[in-house]
A and B are shown apart, each in its own frame.
Chain A
Amino acid sequence: MFGGEKVVGIVSAQRAQFETPLHFKSGAVLPRYELVYETYGTLNADQSNAILICHALSGHHHVAGHYADDAKNIGWWDNMVGAGKPIDTNKFFVIGLNNLGGCHGSTGPSSINPETGKPYGSHFPVITVEDWVNAQARLADLLGIQQFAAIIGGSLGGMQALQWSLAYPERVRHVLAIASAPRLTAQNIAFNDVARNAILTDPDFHAGDYYTHGVVPTRGLRLARMLGHITYLSDDAMAHKFGRELRAAEFNYSFDVEFEVESYLRYQGDKFAAYFDANTYLLMTKALDYFDPAQAFAGNMNQAFAAAKADYLVISFTTDWRFSPERSREIVRPLLHNRRNVSYAEITSAHGHDSFLMPDPHYFSVVQAYLNNVYRECAA
C-alpha cells in the first residue's frame, strides 16, 4: 500500500475472550464473553496514539477497509477512517469493536449461552452505556492501552465516548462526541419505545426466545427500522430524494407501494431485518434511553461532568432533529461550567442525523484539524 492512498485496505476481524465476570449496572452478571474487534494503523512505542471508535445503534467493529474475501464489505465509517483521512490511520492506531449485546460477533442475545447450550435470547442482561464502556476498558487492557489519545463516537457512540471520560477520566485525553446527547429527551425515548413495541408485539418474537422456535420477528424489526430511518433523515432530504414521486404513472387507489418513499423505506426495512437481531435492537435502544450521567447527581449535569479530565470536540448538524444541535449544546454547557477545554461546531448539512456518516468537507476539516493537534501531543 502506498502512503498517499486513502484507504485502509484489507482488514480482518479479531476476537478477544474474557473469562472475568462482568457486572452489569442492572445487577446482572455475565461470567464470560467475547468481543470482536478490528484495528487499523500501528500502535506507537509508548502506546499514546490509540483511538477507540464507539459505534451507534446498528454499527459494529468493521469501521474501515474491506475483507480479503469480500471486497464489497466496506467499513461503515470508511470515508472518515483511513490513511490520510480525518481519523488518519497513518498517525493513529484505531480500534473498532462490536459492543456486547451486538449481533456482529461479540457475545449477544443470539450467541450460545454455554450454561444452557441455547441462545441467550431473553436471558441476555439488559445492558447500559456504562456496561459497554467497562467492557471496552477490558479490551483496552488486553491491547496494552492505558490511555486513549481520543475516543470518538456518533449518536449512541458519542454517549460511550462521554461515559469513558466520566468513568475513566485518566484513560482518555480527548473525546469527540458527534451528533450525540448527554441524555435523551422524552420525544427521543418515545421513538425508541414505538420501535421496541413493533418488535415486542410481533407474534414471532416469543418473548425474545424466537431462536429456539426457528422464527425471526422480521415484521417488527422491519417496522422499527422504517420508523428509525424516518427520524435519521431530514424533511428536506426526504423531499429532495423522493418528493411525491410515484412508482407508477398514476394513483391506483390501493394500499400497495405507490410512492417512492414507501418503496425506499420498505427496502431499507427488509434489508435491515435480514441481518440484524431484534433482541440487539431492543438492547441498543434501551441503552440509549437509560443513559443519563446526571441521574446519580439529582439531575445536575454540571456535577456529573465534574469528574471529567479530557478535552472535548462536540459536533452537531443543523438538520438533525433526532439528536438536534440543542442536545449537543447540553453537552457543551456542563463542560464550560467545569472549565474543560471544549470546542463546538454546528455543521450545516441537509442529511439529518445521518449527516455524521456523510462525507462533508467542512465537517471533515474540523475533525482533521482537531486530530492533527491530538497527534502533535502524541508525537511530543
Chain B
Amino acid sequence: MMTLEALLDQIEGVVAEDLRRWIAARYVRPGGEPEAWVFGEMDVARVRLIVELRDVMEISEPALPTVLSLLDQVYDLRRRMRRLNEGFSLLPAELRGELARFMME
C-alpha cells in the first residue's frame, strides 16, 4: 500500500498529471479517496504496465484504452479458464478422460 507520492518515487517516467488522468479514465483504480489514494501492489504493477505500454511499446495515449481493454479481456479469459480447469478436477476420472479426448480432437 502506498500513496501517490511514494508511487511517483518508485516508477520512473510517470508524473502526477499522468496518474490523475489515468485514474479519471479508470485505467487505474486505487483505493482511498480522491487525492488521498491508496495504491495496492496490483495498482502499482498496473501503473508500471501502462508506463511500459506508453514509453516502451510506443502505444499512444489515445490507443491505451483499447490495448488495456484487450489485455483485461485476455486476463479475464485466463482466470476463467484456470477456474474451469480447477473445476475439471472435480469430475470423475472417466469424464475427465472423455473431456481430454474431446479437447485433443
Do A and B form a real pair? no
Q: What is A's interface to B at a CB cutoff of 8 Å?
A: none
Q: What is B's interface to A at a CB cutoff of 8 Å?
A: none
